[in-house]
Structure 1
Amino acid sequence: MAGFGDPHLNTVDAAGLKLGIVGSRWHADLVDHMVARAQAAAQACGVQDVVVARVAGSVELPVVAQALAKRCDAVVALGVVIRGETAHFNYVNDAVTAGLTRVALDEQTPVAHGVLTVESLGQAKDRAGLEDSIEDKGWQSTVAVLDAVLAIRELSKG
């Protein structure tokens, strides 16, 4: 993320919505924190019904996100992919992004892409919502996806 242009959504009124959160186990120390921040954001937005699932890696996020999308109003997918010395980074990120987008469109359920795709562990720490992080993707992704549900519901009224 460029670090500018943030819409500054702190919370939305999402009382009554059901949220699914799926996080990978790779870089568990960071993803555990991101999941906790997503849960805190959901609570701050009034969401009481939260389902959390964990998967091995980021490639597995879309299929579990789809299962959650069938039973939740919105889904947040969280993970960390750090560039290595091979093209694997590109393949993983392309697959995850395409998969999560497909789930959202196929299930007509907003899915937040909260997977950090970074060059280094330091960049991941800067975005994981730690005490000294400059960004909090667990929180931001959650508020954004809840906002999308509310936007869809508002459009459905007309």
Structure 2
Amino acid sequence: GYDAVVALGVVLRGGTPHFEYVCQGVTQGLTQVAVDTGVPVGFGVLTVDTEQQALDRAGLPGSTEDKGHEAVTAAVATATVLR
């Protein structure tokens, strides 16, 4: 088994209402995985309006944030508490 998992991805808003459905489905699905398995799931899925917003949050050189690192840190911290 795994002590924790991390989901990384990007959902980019388009010109249709699918963005909201996809974001809701991803969130519900990952929550269900955590509930069903008891394994912490780090949520590193960016939901953005523009590609630049994704790049700004991706932890790249010049990025203002690193959401992937934050998701990993949260998953590891939760797994440590649950041990």
Q: For the superposition of Structure 1 and Structure 2, which TM-score range results when normalised by the shorter chain?
A: over 0.9
Q: Which runs of 5+ in 2 are unaligned?
A: none
Residue 102, structure 1, aligned to residue 26, structure 2: no
Question: What is aligned with 1:61?
Answer: none
Q: Is 1:149 paired with 2:79? A: yes
**CA displacement 1:48-82 (0-9 Å, x = unmatched):** xxxxxxxxxxxxxxxxxxxxxxx211000000011
2:44 match: secondary structure: strand
The structure with the larger Rg is 1
RMSD over aligned CA atoms reads 0.7
Please point out which of 124, 130, 137 is paired with 2:54: 124
Q: Does 1:77 align with 2:7?
A: yes
Q: Give 1:123 shift.
A: 0.6
Matched residues in 2 for 1:151 and 1:134: separation? 29
* Deviation, structure 1 residue 152: 1.4
SS of the residue corresponding to residue 78 of structure 1 reads strand
Deviations 1:83-141 (A, max 9, x none): 11101111111000000000001100000110000111111001000000011111111
TM-score by length of 1: 0.51
Tell me the equivalent position of 1:35.
none
For residues 85 and 94 of structure 1, the distance between their equivalents in structure 2, rounded to whole angstroms, comes to 17
Task: State the one-letter code of the partner of 2:58.
Answer: A
Distance 1:98 1:82 in 2: 18
Partner in structure 2 of residue 86 of structure 1: 16
